[in-house]
């Protein structure tokens, strides 16, 4: 298969497109935080971004088939297995029986890398969220998003400090204290993001409220998009390296 028949140029173009889309999304996202309801403009921009990002993964899988000179038996999608059943070889074989033996025999390193990308690995959970939200946006409806507020508290003294978020709190018993660079927080009180407390005047106390949007009440929108934007180019580069393209 000649190199001009691969989708590498298309993928590189899509990477440039989603980079621009992500930048525009960040602007729209920041503006949307000022209102309580998520504007449709933001939802549509997210939908378009996710579809282009998903196409990159699927084009990569097509090039894996092409590089191994395998004729697919069905439409090709990048394999994502949210749950680990048996082992990756069995799961991949159930989806692409024509690919699994050739991949293990001809490019074990690529096979191992595809397995490492599966969302049952803790640091790859984002890829399952990505696929799920993309499918819902494409085939069902624009995924509901809600605005959330997350208060934070930072106490510091020229370097040393503590930070509380997500409604966290610290309870200090009588006779206990916290020392931060010579400044003290006395015991017998609870320190939290939502309540006042007593402390030395030398300590710097900073309270903020972080705003954001969630997909389906649980997936942070900006965190997911940032993950995709940072990690997708790495996946592309590594797969083409392992294919020798």
Q: What is the residue extent of each domain of the chain?
A: 3-144+218-243, 146-212
Nearest-angstrom CA–CA distance, 235 and 231: 6
Pairing verdict, β 145-156 and 177-180: unpaired
Nearest-angstrom CA–CA distance, 201 and 183: 8
**Residue 30 — φ and ψ, nearest 5°?**
-60, -40
pLDDT digit string (tens) for the chain, length 245 residues: 445 678 999 999 999 999 999 999 888 877 776 666 677 888 888 889 999 999 999 999 999 999 988 888 888 899 999 888 778 888 888 888 888 788 888 899 999 999 999 999 989 999 999 988 887 766 455 455 555 555 667 888 877 788 876 667 888 888 888 888 778 788 888 888 777 778 877 887 776 555 566 665 567 788 889 999 999 999 999 999 999 98
Residue 164: its pLDDT value, please?
A: 74
Mapped to the 3 state alphabet, what secondary structure does 77-143 carry?
CCCCCCCCCCCHHHHHHHHCCCCHHHHHHHCHHHHHHHHHCCCCCHHHHHHHHHHHHHHHHHHCCCC
Q: Convert the pLDDT of each residue in 223-232 to its tens digit.
A: 889 999 999 9
- Kindly report the pTM of this predicted structure: 0.70
Write down the residue that tokens 């942070």 correspond to: 220
3-class state of residue 171 by DSSP? strand
Nearest-angstrom CA–CA distance, 183 and 186: 10
CB 165 within 8 A of CB 221: no
3-class state of residue 26 by DSSP? helix
CB 102 within 8 A of CB 67: no
Nearest-angstrom CA–CA distance, 228 and 237: 14
Q: Select from 38, 24, 3 the least CA-distant residue to 212.
A: 38
């Amino acid at each position: 298969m000649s190199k001009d028949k691969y989708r590498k140029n298309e993928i590189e173009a899509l990477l440039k497109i989603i980079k621009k889309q992500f930048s525009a999304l960040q602007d729209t996202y920041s503006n949307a935080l000022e209102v309580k309801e998520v504007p449709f403009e933001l939802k549509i921009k997210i939908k378009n971004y996710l579809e282009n990002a998903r196409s990159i993964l699927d084009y990569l899988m097509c090039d894996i088939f092409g590089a191994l000179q395998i004729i697919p038996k069905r439409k090709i999608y990048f394999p994502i297995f949210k749950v680990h059943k048996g082992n990756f070889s069995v799961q991949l074989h159930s989806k692409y029986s024509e690919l699994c033996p050739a991949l293990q025999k001809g490019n074990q390193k690529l096979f191992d890398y595809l397995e490492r990308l599966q969302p049952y690995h803790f640091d790859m959970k984002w890829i399952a969220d990505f696929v799920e939200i993309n499918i819902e946006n494409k085939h069902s409806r624009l995924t509901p998003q809600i605005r959330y507020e997350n208060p934070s508290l930072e106490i510091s003294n020229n370097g040393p400090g503590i930070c509380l978020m997500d409604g966290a709190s610290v309870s200090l018993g009588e006779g206990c204290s916290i020392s931060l660079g010579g400044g003290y927080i006395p015991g017998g009180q609870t320190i939290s993001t939502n309540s006042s407390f007593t402390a030395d005047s030398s300590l710097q106390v900073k309270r903020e409220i972080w705003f954001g949007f969630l997909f389906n009440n649980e997936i942070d929108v900006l965190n997911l998009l940032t993950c995709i934007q940072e990690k997708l180019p790495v996946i592309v580069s590594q797969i083409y390296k392992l294919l020798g393209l």
